[in-house]
Amino acid sequence: MIDRFYLKDFLSFKEVDLEFEKGLVVFTGPSGAGKSILMDAFLSLFGYKDAKAALGETSISSAGITNEAFDIDSNDDIIIKEIKKEKVRYFINNQSISKKNLFTFSHNIVKHLHLRDVSDFQSAKLITFLDKLCVIKSKKFSKLKEDFESTFLEFSTVKAKLSKIRQDELKIEDLKEYAKYEIEKITAIDPAVDEYEELNRIKKQLSRKDKIEDAIKKASVIFDSSNAVSTALELMEVDSGFFDESINELNNIFEGFNDTLSELEELDIENVLDRIEKLSSLQKRFGSIEEALIYKDEKQKELDSYENITFEKSLLEKQELELFDSCEELGKELTKKRNDASKVLEEKINYYLEFLYLSNAKITLEDKTLDISGANTVIFELNGVNLDTISSGEFNRLRLALLTSMSGFEIVQGGILFLDEIDANLSGKESNAIANVLSTLSKTYQIFAISHQPQLTATADQHFLVDKKDGVSTVRVLNKDEKIEEVSRMISGEDITKEAREFAINLIK
């Protein structure tokens, strides 16, 4: 619910600071005082209208929504702010947001009944409503729907696999030849992991072979003087062990490297370079020899699967038929439950429509191609005609009846509802009907409405008066006595009669 609303420098309003309660909140006042302007200021904070105020801010509690992007948990308060300088900027909990994204975010909390928003009457949304009603009516429905969805997902997976096999069948020989070609290309090279690095090391040694041999030859003269060094150390009574070990280790290194160089002489350098080039081509294509070998294994599996494709196809076709039959059976059960629920919802909607001086709402389930939601399309009509052809007034009253019905069944969590002149140009009995329905709906929704009739105004849980003096609009909450005065004025005009006051008192009671 909206706890607080702040507005600064918006047309005829200099500054507004209001606090709200739950239930039905009504704004009244003389024509031209600024009621619609104030409503537009509210709606601009939710992206429904263009922002024109220098500053607007509202705080919302118990919204019951979670949003990771703005770090909002279901129990968190939400503060929405708009600031207009050179351009308009919007914020949620001090984080910047575009108007489009603000509208999307707010749509989960706020409904505006003046707009011809048909989303609540779309088939997918009505299916959701009916399913929630089914759960209330039968605890087994959740299991039925879960079984249908899991079976349909399995059916879809099998169908997709079968479709791929049928496509592959058309080009199976080409695919087999390509797989063989790719396998043979890698097999012909027969690469080993780390072979490329080893061959490059050998190549490097070969390129330095002559230099290394020459360096060893020049350095070997040290061995001619080794006995003289050992004798000198002994005469100095210094243990020559360290020198002898070093000379022996150096000799071993030189001899070992000479053996390696002898082995290199036996290698065909052209073969080494050719091998490096082939391995390099694999590395460039696959990134590494390991990836090339993995690719080869994958192609081998593909080739094996092509060989077994006829057998696999036969199994999948049988499985597809069995799963489709199961989906149809479960879908029929869903349809039966939804049909029963649609009659209950239809009866409740028509109950409220009777109060609203409308009738004959009809909810029909028609067959459609089976998908994850079932085999049903929901058609909603009023007096036998499509909702596109009814008037805006009829549409909004129908929408009100739907919301109130769902609220009564507790299949919606409520939220915030804005009504723009919903009782304008209505008779007394029609206004009374609207008031009664909104009173019921306000148990679930916090409702903000501009009223032109005493019936709805008298029903308000909180009543605000919008007035205008010397071109400046103001708004303030009315106490009980002030509310009686305002309702009396709405009945008899500025010259309030005794009868009007008594009628106002009775309406409010």
Domain-embedded: residue 262 = yes
* Cβ-based neighbour number of residue 295 at 10 Å: 17
Domain-embedded: residue 292 = yes
Q: Find the mean pLDDT for residues 376-389.
A: 90
What is the spatial order of strands in the sheet that 385-386 belongs to?
361-371, 374-382, 385-386
Q: Kind of pairing, strands 2-10 and 415-419?
A: unpaired
Q: What is the pLDDT of residues 190-232, one digit of tens each?
A: 888 888 887 787 777 666 666 777 777 787 778 777 888 788 8
What's the pTM?
A: 0.65
Q: Find the mean pLDDT for residues 61-88.
A: 85
User: What is the rounded distance in angstroms from the CA atom of residue 63 to the CA atom of residue 110?
Assistant: 10
pLDDT at 453 over 90: no
* Cβ-based neighbour number of residue 306 at 10 Å: 19
102 versus 272: the higher-pLDDT residue is 102
Residue 190 neighbours by CB under 8 Å, 6+ apart: none
Mean pLDDT, the chain, whole residue set: 87
Q: Residue 41 corresponds to which tokens in the numbers above? A: 């200021």
Count of domains observed in the chain: 1
Range of the domain at 180: 172-309
* Cβ-based neighbour number of residue 71 at 10 Å: 10
- Work out the angle between the directed axes of helices 392-409 and 428-441 (0-180°, nearest 10): 40
Q: What pLDDT sits at residue 335?
A: 95
Q: Find the mean pLDDT for residues 434-463.
A: 90
Domain-embedded: residue 252 = yes
| Residue 362's pLDDT band (cuts 50, 70, 90) | very high
Q: Find the mean pLDDT for residues 90-106.
A: 91
Domain-embedded: residue 125 = no
User: What is the rounded distance in angstroms from the CA atom of residue 203 to the CA atom of residue 59?
Assistant: 74
pLDDT at 333 over 90: yes
Query: What Å distances lie between residue 50 and 14, 78, 335, CA to CA?
Result: 18, 21, 43
Q: Residue 269 corresponds to which tokens in the numbers above? A: 């350098």
User: What is the rounded distance in angstroms from the CA atom of residue 259 to the CA atom of residue 32?
Assistant: 107
Taking alpha carbons only, the member of 322, 338, 330 closest to residue 148 is 330
Q: Residue 500 corresponds to which tokens in the numbers above? A: 């009007």
Domain-embedded: residue 291 = yes
Q: What pLDDT sits at residue 246?
A: 84
243 versus 11: the higher-pLDDT residue is 11
User: What is the rounded distance in angstroms from the CA atom of residue 392 to the CA atom of residue 118?
Assistant: 11
Q: What proportion of the chain, given as a percentage, has pLDDT over 70?
A: 95
pLDDT at 386 over 90: no
DSSP 73: -
Domain-embedded: residue 403 = no
Q: Find the mean pLDDT for residues 482-495.
A: 88
385 versus 155: the higher-pLDDT residue is 155
Q: What is the pLDDT of residues 272-296, one digit of tens each?
A: 778 778 888 888 888 888 998 999 9
Contact of 365 with 339, CB cutoff 8 Å = yes
Domain-embedded: residue 467 = no
Domain-embedded: residue 277 = yes
